[in-house]
Structure 1
Amino acid sequence: MPIKKYLITGLLVWLPLAITVWVILWMVGILDGIFGGVLSGFEALLPVAALPMIDKLRAIHGLGVILVVLALLLTGALVSNVAGRWLVRQWDRLFTNIPIVKSIYNSVKKVSDTLFSSNGNAFRTALLIQYPRAGSWTIAFQTGTPSGEVQKHLNGEFVSVYVPTTPNPTSGFFLMLPRADVIELDMSVDEALTYVISMGSVAPQPTH
């Protein structure tokens, strides 16, 4: 029926845009809420004459996002020199000496350094592996290679991989597989993620 076909086609056009806008607005709302909380904390320290300005700042939607971006840029610029790196080392030393906090801080720092470091290999290679059983294939991403005590118990060359779930790739499974059992794919990480999220309905275009 043409009407049903047109409705589905229209939905496919507008749905990605609607979800994208919704996610952006959701993130903006969270950052604005955090910024509003910070302003509320400063209200007790500021004179009464400054309160109208605080209310005006709180009413500006998206200001929290702008301030976060500026803070990240400023932090990145500061830690790019010798003095900035010294301050970061002092910051790390402070948090690594606090019980309980040091376990969380060190774990998050190691993961973030691995994922976002320009020298790392995490999530830079899309793989094809057999999972959850032999003969059943799925997309995975190389996150590195086993090291430390784990490596001592493994015979041969292994790779660490992350297997995302569908359609939500933020959850998944961590596996260590023999390198001989994985197939490197000639596709970008973005293409592989799109393939996973779409449950295989949006296949990457062949490069040849």
Structure 2
Amino acid sequence: MPLKKYLLTGLLVWLPLAITIWVLLWLMGLLDGIVIGVISGLQAITSDSVVTLLERFKHIPGLGVVLVFGGLLVTGALVSNVAGRWWLLQWDRLLTRIPVFKSIYNSVKKVSDTLFSSNGNAFRTALLVQYPRPGMWTIAFQTGAPSGEVAEQLGSDFVSVYVPTTPNPTSGFFLMLPRSDVIELKMSVDEALTYVISMGSVAPASLTGHLPK
């Protein structure tokens, strides 16, 4: 039926845009809520004139996004020089001396440094791996190579990979596989993520190659 076909085609056109806008509005609302909470806290400890000034800021939409973006930009600029890096080192030393807190902070910092470092290799390569059993293939991302005691036990010819779940790639499985058991793909990480999220319905043209027997 043409009517059903037109409706589905229109849905495919507008659905990605609607979801994107919804996610951005949710994120903006979340950040605005945090900023409003901080402003409300400041109002409780400041004078009446400052309270009146802060009250005006509470009603500015998108203020949280602007403040977070500005804060990240200023922080990045400050720690890009020698003096900024020295203060960052002192900050890290202070945080890593707090019991319990230091364990969480160190773990998160190591992961973020690995993922977002410009000279890191995490999530820079898409792979094909056999999972959850031989003969079944899925998309994975190389996160590095085993090190320390694990490398001593396994040997040097292993790679660390992350196998994402679909359609939510933020959860998955961490595996260490022989390098000979993985196939490096030519597709970009973005293309591979699209392939995973779409559950295989959007296959990049670069998904070529021969699977090992």
Q: For the structure 1 residues 18 and 57, does the alpha-carbon distance in structure 2 shift closer, same or farther, using more than 3 Å as the test?
A: same
Following TM superposition, by how much is the alpha carbon of 1:45 offset from its aligned partner in structure 2, in angstroms? 2.8
Q: Considering only aligned residues, what root-mean-square deviation do their CA atoms show, in Å?
A: 1.3
The normalised TM-score by structure 2 is 0.95
**What is the number of equivalent residue pairs in this alignment?**
208
Match runs of 1:125-136 below 5 Å: 125-136=125-136
Match of 2:84 in 1: 84
1:61-118 residue CA offsets vs partner (Å, 9 max, x unmatched):
1011001000001000100111111111111111111110010000000000000000
Match of 2:53 in 1: 53
Q: Equivalent residue of 1:65, what SS?
A: helix
1:3 aligns with 2:3: yes
Structure 2: tracts of 5 or more residues without a match:
209-213
1:22 aligns with 2:48: no
The 10-residue stretch of structure 1 (47-56 or 195-204) with the greater mean CA deviation from structure 2: 47-56
1:117-139 residue CA offsets vs partner (Å, 9 max, x unmatched):
00100000000000000000000
Distance in 1 separating the partners of 2:63 and 2:35: 8
The 10-residue stretch of structure 1 (198-207 or 38-47) with the greater mean CA deviation from structure 2: 198-207
Distance in 2 separating the partners of 1:206 and 1:163: 19
Identical amino acids, percent of aligned pairs = 73
Task: Say whether the 8 Å CA contact 1:160–1:175 is kept in structure 2.
Answer: yes
Runs of at least 4 residues off by over 3 Å: none
Following TM superposition, by how much is the alpha carbon of 1:156 offset from its aligned partner in structure 2, in angstroms? 4.4
The 10-residue stretch of structure 1 (103-112 or 51-60) with the greater mean CA deviation from structure 2: 51-60
**Letter paired with 1:151:** A
Distance in 2 separating the partners of 1:14 and 1:205: 25
Match runs of 1:109-124 below 5 Å: 109-124=109-124
Match of 1:108 in 2: 108
Distance in 2 separating the partners of 1:197 and 1:134: 23
Match of 2:160 in 1: 160
Q: Equivalent residue of 2:154, what SS?
A: coil
Distance in 1 separating the partners of 2:204 and 2:91: 44
Q: Equivalent residue of 1:176, what SS?
A: strand
Q: Equivalent residue of 2:11, what SS?
A: helix
Following TM superposition, by how much is the alpha carbon of 1:47 offset from its aligned partner in structure 2, in angstroms? 1.6
Distance in 2 separating the partners of 1:55 and 1:11: 41
**Letter paired with 2:83:** A
Q: Equivalent residue of 1:153, what SS?
A: helix
